[in-house]
Structure 1
Amino acid sequence: MKHCILLIISCIFVSSSSISPDTYIGKWKITGGSVIEIYQEGKFFYGKIHKRTEKPISNLNGLDNNNPLKELQNRPLLGMIILDKLVYEDGALSGGTIYNADSGKSYNVKVWINNDDKNTCYIRAYKSVLFKTFEAKRVNN
């Protein structure tokens, strides 16, 4: 009986603290107002701009103006993939890049979900040893 109770308690703990790949799929509103939709294709995860902030700091015309490639500067930001080729490993998404349309630069990225609140995730962009972390909240459809 003692072992049975211990087994039940450990199963509850393990299942409540685990983050599955499906937990990442959905829309996430980043502090500042933009909404990113994360989805999976095969083993990779991607994120595209679903909605822009109401007060953008650049690209006021809704186009990728700051892209270093001239031929991409007229593409619309809405629907554009900004999280590219992330892989699920050890409860987090990593190994891919994030594109910053404000600067036209890409950075290595890691995305993880708060174990205590599965409706909060963090997106961390890395530039060498420096990084910036953004908080995002799940958007319910």
Structure 2
Amino acid sequence: MKFLILLMGFLYGNLIFSQEVFGEWKTIDDDSGIAKSIVEIYKKEGEVYGKINRIFREDKRNLRCTECKGELKNQKVEGMVILKNLSKNGDKYEDGTITDPENGKVYDAKIWLKDNKPNTLMVRGYLSIFYRTQEWERFEN
């Protein structure tokens, strides 16, 4: 009986952990459906951030964000923090920003796990009432 309780506690704990936004996610190109990069979602000083850890195409790994403004100007895209200052609000993290390193534009952002699919992260960038939502897939090594 003790083993069963221990096993259930372990499984329940893993289920809770696997249903968090934190960890590594594959970004998927909207047009081709091909995985582009791995973004790590992490917490820092009470807020949530996302950093591009790896770009899959080797010929794109040294690209710089030439269109970015401020501190991101000419920064390498691989290693760039693109999600910033998200705060938890219920099941979502919002009130932050996301930078599109292809054009340097910064949008308001929110992220959340897709209903009944804890391995799918919904990432929305928006400006006023206009928005675009991408689905990122949990990355498993």
**Fold-level match, TM-score > 0.5?**
yes
Measure, in 2, the Cα distance between the counterparts of 1:53 and 1:126.
26
Measure, in 1, the Cα distance between the counterparts of 2:98 and 2:23.
17
Residue of structure 2 in register with 1:83 after alignment: 83
TM-score (norm. length: structure 2): 0.75
- Structure 1 segments (4+ residues) deviating >6 Å: none
Report the aligned-residue RMSD: 2.7
Q: Partner letter of residue 49 of structure 1? A: I
* Cα displacement string for residues 78-132 of structure 1 (whole angstroms, at most 9, x for unaligned residues): 1111000001111111010001111111100110101311100110100121100
Residue of structure 2 in register with 1:44 after alignment: 47
Residue of structure 2 in register with 1:66 after alignment: 67
What is the count of residue pairs matched by the alignment?
122
Residue of structure 2 in register with 1:23 after alignment: 20
Query: Once the 2 structures are TM-superposed, how far is the Cα of residue 28 of structure 1 from its aligned partner?
Result: 0.6
Residue of structure 1 in register with 2:136 after alignment: 136
- Identity over the aligned pairs, expressed in percent? 32
**1:76–1:23 CA distance, 2 compared to 1 (3 A):** same
Query: Once the 2 structures are TM-superposed, how far is the Cα of residue 68 of structure 1 from its aligned partner?
Result: 3.2
